[in-house]
Amino acid sequence: MKTIMSALSLKKRIETRMGLHTDLGRRHGAWLLMTLPAVLWIVVFRYITLVGLGIAFIDYRPRRGIFGSDFVGLRNFEFLFRTEAALRATRNTVLLSLLFLVVSMVVALAVAYMIYQIYSSRMTKYYQTVLLLPNFISWVIVSYFVFALLATESGIVNVILRNMGRDQIAWYSSPQYWPFILLLAHMWNSLGWSSLIYLAAMLGIDPQLYEAATLDGANKFRQFFSVTIPLILPIVTLNFLLGLGNIFAQDFGLFYQVTRNRPQLYPTTDVLDTFIYRSIAGLGNIPMASAAQFYQSVVGFVLILSANWLIKRTSRSDQDLSIF
């Protein structure tokens, strides 16, 4: 009797636990069905490709397929790191990412602070719109106008140089200028978005703090460093660390389109993404490309985990900004 009772209560408990006979249970059925299309997409395009990183350890031959190709251990990586191009791409990726990260942060903060100071003005809306527009223009179009600016014979910059009596510069075959040119293109594209984010944070600051600072005799410049920055520091830190975490990945379009994929520019503009793309598309060397991809993904993974750890370490307990 006792066992029957406990079995019954167990059944009841399971049913309540699963919620099979309740409204909530039926609701869960509908809810799970709703998630299905997105889940399928995520599994196919993200999780399977994540597992697919494993092809870095086989000698992939399209004809023989993934499961028919030979396991070669670390051989692909040996080939990869013996090429000078891989090391160059790593160096370019890291240095350019750092350059972009630091410069855009400083400029975006400055622009956000300026917009904040005139926020009541009617012009604010126009500044924001105009600054945001480039973010929604494709890199193909950017490559078009960069060409209009830098073309050797008819480019605007060279025309100006000629008019000033200076020698014109063959921009598309002078790699030394390109870190700077790419930085400008990157800033043009992203400034609106990043300054908007900082502006949103600045608008959350209590204006009385500025009044107090003014009474203490702090000018606008001083206020920026002793009121604004300390108060939006969490967002700044978060963005900076996320940027550090993404140092190994770059915007493929910027480096592929804006440089017009010119081999002469590779010394300063070839990054891991363009290197990987070229290994597949140009050379058809999938083992090498997959080793480079694995390298990029794993280092990126480690960087993001470390950034997250750092965020956890630096943020106060009442406002944990870490991602997980």
Partner 1 sequence: MSTHTSTATTVQKPRRKKQSAGLQGSPGVRIHSRTLRLAVHLILAAIALTALAPFLIIVSSSLTSEQSLVVDGFAIWPRVLDTTAYQLIFERPERLYSAYSVTVYVSLFGTVLALLFMSMIAYPMSRTQFRYRKFFNLFVLIPMLFNGGIVPYYILVTQFLGLRNTLTILFLPPMISFYQIILLRAFFMQIPNEMFDAARADGAGEWRILFTIVVHLAKPAIATMALMTFLSYWNNWTTALYFIDNWRLYPLQYLLHQLMRDAEALALEPQLGGQALPTNAVRMAMAVLATGPAAAIFLMFQKYLVQGITLGSLK
Kindly identify the residues of this chain, within the stretch 203-232, that bind partner 1 according to CB under 8 A.
203-205, 207-214, 220
Q: 241-270: which residues touch partner 1 (CB under 8 A)?
A: 249, 252-253, 257, 260
**How many chain residues touch partner 1 (CB under 8 A)?**
116
Scored b (16 or more CB within 10 A) or e, 89-106 reads: bbebbbebbeebbeebbe
Least Cβ distance, residue 163 to partner 1 (angstroms): 10
Instruction: Say whether residue 49 binds partner 1 (CB under 8 A).
Output: yes
Nearest residue (CB) to partner 1, 5 versus 123: 123
Nearest residue (CB) to partner 1, 52 versus 230: 52
- Helix H or strand E segment including 314: helix 286-314
Q: Which stretch binds partner 1 (CB under 8 A): 71-79, 81-89, 123-131, 175-183?
A: 123-131
SS3 content of the chain, % helix, strand, coil (to 5): 80, 0, 20
Instruction: Say whether residue 106 binds partner 1 (CB under 8 A).
Output: no
Site string for partner 1, 286-305 (x = CB under 8 A): x--xx-xx--xx--xx--x-
Instruction: Name which position in 52, 68, 73, 230 contacts partner 1 (CB under 8 A).
Output: 52
The residue written with tokens 């590779």 in the block is 266
Least Cβ distance, residue 1 to partner 1 (angstroms): 34
Least Cβ distance, residue 60 to partner 1 (angstroms): 8
Least Cβ distance, residue 295 to partner 1 (angstroms): 10
Q: Comparing C-alpha atoms, which of 213, 217, 243 is closest to residue 228?
A: 213
Nearest residue (CB) to partner 1, 7 versus 29: 29
CB-based contact 217:130 (threshold 8 Å): no
Structure tokens at 297: 């993904």
CB-based contact 265:170 (threshold 8 Å): no
Q: Comparing C-alpha atoms, which of 250, 285, 247 is closest to residue 269?
A: 250
Instruction: Name which position in 14, 34, 102, 106 contacts partner 1 (CB under 8 A).
Output: 34
Q: CA 168 → CA 143, 163, 165, 172, 260, distances in Å?
A: 20, 10, 9, 12, 20
Q: 75-104: which residues touch partner 1 (CB under 8 A)?
A: none
